[in-house]
Structure 1
Amino acid sequence: MNQWRHREKEIDPFLLFCFASVLSLLLCFGCGDTEDEQEVTNPTNNTFLNELDEPSRQPAEQQRWLTDADWKKLKDAEQWLHLTVEDWVNLKDKDWEKLKGKDWTRLTNREIREFMNLEIPRRWVLEVKDEALREKFGIAAFFQKFGDIPQVRYDVEFRRKRKREAKGGFITVTPEFAKYRVGDSAATYFLVPTEAHRHLLEDDIKQLKSIVAQEKRRFMEQLRIEDPEAWITDMRTLLIDKHGDIPEVDTIVNFLRKLELNLPRTDEECFAYIRVYSALYLFGSHTALIYESYAWLEASDQLRHILGDPPKQTGNLEKYREARAAGLSFYNIKWGDD
Structure 2
Amino acid sequence: MLKRCFLGLITFVCLFSLSCFVGCGDPEETDPIVIPSELYDTSQLAYDLSDAEIQELMALDVPTNWEQTKDRELRAKYYHANLLKQFGNIPAVHIVAEHERRKATASEDYISYTLDESINLDKAKYILWPTKHNRDNLERSLKIKLRRETDDPELFAKLYREELIEQHGDIPEVEVVVKGETKLWFGGFRFPGDEDDYVAFLEAKYALWPNDSQLQRLEKYRKAQADGTPFHLVDRDDDN
Change (3 A) 1:321 1:146: farther
Q: Residue 91 of structure 2 aligns with which residue?
A: 150
Q: Distance in 1 between matches of 2:127 and 2:227?
A: 49
Alpha-carbon offset, residue 111 of structure 1: 1.0
**Greater relative contact order (Cα < 8 A, sep 6+):** 1
Aligned counterparts of 1:319 and 1:202: Cα–Cα separation in 2: 46
Instruction: Write the letter of the residue equivalent to 2:70.
Output: K
Which of 118, 121, 145 aligns to 1:208? It is: 145
> Which residue identity lines up with residue 117 of structure 1 in the other structure?
A
In structure 2, how many angstroms separate the alpha carbons of the residues matched to 1:321 and 1:131? 55
The answer as to 2:52 corresponding to 1:110 is yes
User: Structure 1 residue 192: deviation in Å?
Assistant: 1.4
| Change in CA separation of 1:316 and 1:327 when aligned onto 2, cut-off 3 Å | closer
**What does residue 134 of structure 1 align with?**
75
What SS does structure 2 have at the residue aligned with 1:292? coil
Q: Does 1:315 align with 2:226?
A: no
Stretches of structure 2 that go unaligned for 5 or more consecutive residues are 1-33, 156-174, 199-220
Q: Deviations over 1:33-53 (max 9, x none)?
A: xxxxxxxxxxxxxxxxxxxxx
- The alpha-carbon distance between structure 1 residues 122 and 169, as it changes in their structure 2 partners (threshold 3 A), is closer
Which residue, out of 186, 189, 192, partners 2:129? 192
Match of 1:96 among 45, 57, 81: 45
Q: What is the deviation of 1:317? A: 2.9
Alpha-carbon contact 2:67-2:75 (below 8 Å) kept: yes
1:1-338 equivalent positions in 2, closer than 5 A: 84=36, 87-92=38-43, 95-97=44-46, 106-126=48-68, 128-161=69-102, 166=106, 168-172=108-112, 177-210=114-147, 212=148, 241-242=152-153, 287-288=179-180, 289=183, 291-292=188-189, 295-297=193-195, 315=223, 317=225, 321=229, 324-325=232-233, 328=236, 331=239
Counterpart amino acid of residue 203 in structure 1: R
Quickly say closer, same or farther: Cα 1:152–1:321, change in 2 above 3 A.
farther
- Contact 1:158–1:180 (CA under 8 A) maintained in structure 2: no
**What is the Cα deviation at residue 115 of structure 1?**
1.1
Query: Compared with structure 1, are the counterparts of its residues 178 and 184 closer, same or farther at alpha carbon in structure 2 (3 Å cutoff)?
Result: same
Preserved contact between residue 154 and residue 184 of structure 1 (Cα < 8 Å): yes
Taking a change above 3 Å as real, the CA distance of residues 186 and 208 of structure 1, as seen in their structure-2 partners, is: same
Is the CA contact 1:178–1:204 (under 8 Å) kept in the aligned structure 2?
A: yes
TM-score, with normalisation over the residues of structure 1? 0.38
> 1:284, CA displacement in angstroms?
9.8
In the alignment, the residues of structure 2 paired with residue 186 and residue 296 of structure 1 have an alpha-carbon distance, to the nearest angstrom, of 41
> Offset at 1:206?
2.5
Q: Is the 8 A contact 1:89 1:189 kept in 2?
A: no
Would the alpha carbon gap of residues 122 and 329 (structure 1) be closer, same or farther in structure 2, given more than 3 Å must change? same
Structure 1, unpaired ranges of 5+: 1-81, 101-105, 217-237, 245-282, 301-312, 333-338
Higher mean displacement: 321-330 or 196-205: 321-330
TM-score with structure 2 setting the length: 0.51
Q: Cα gap change, 1:154/1:319 in structure 2, threshold over 3 Å: closer, same or farther?
A: farther
Amino acid at match of 2:42: L
Structure 2 CA distance for aligned equivalents of residues 243 and 89 of structure 1? 22
Relative distance call for 1:321 and 1:286 in structure 2 (3 A) is same
CA RMSD of aligned residues (A): 4.2
Question: CA 1:161–1:131 in 2, change beyond 3 Å: closer, same or farther?
Answer: closer
What is the percentage of aligned positions where both structures have the same residue?
A: 21
Superposed displacement of residue 112, structure 1:
1.1
Structure 1 residues 229-279: Cα deviation after superposition (integer angstroms, max 9, x where no partner):
xxxxxxxxx6xx3159xxxxxxxxxxxxxxxxxxxxxxxxxxxxxxxxxxx
User: What code does the residue aligned with 1:317 have?
Assistant: Q
Q: Using the TM superposition, give the Cα deviation of residue 133 of structure 1 relative to its aligned residue in structure 2, in angstroms.
A: 2.2
Q: Is the 8 A contact 1:151 1:187 kept in 2?
A: yes
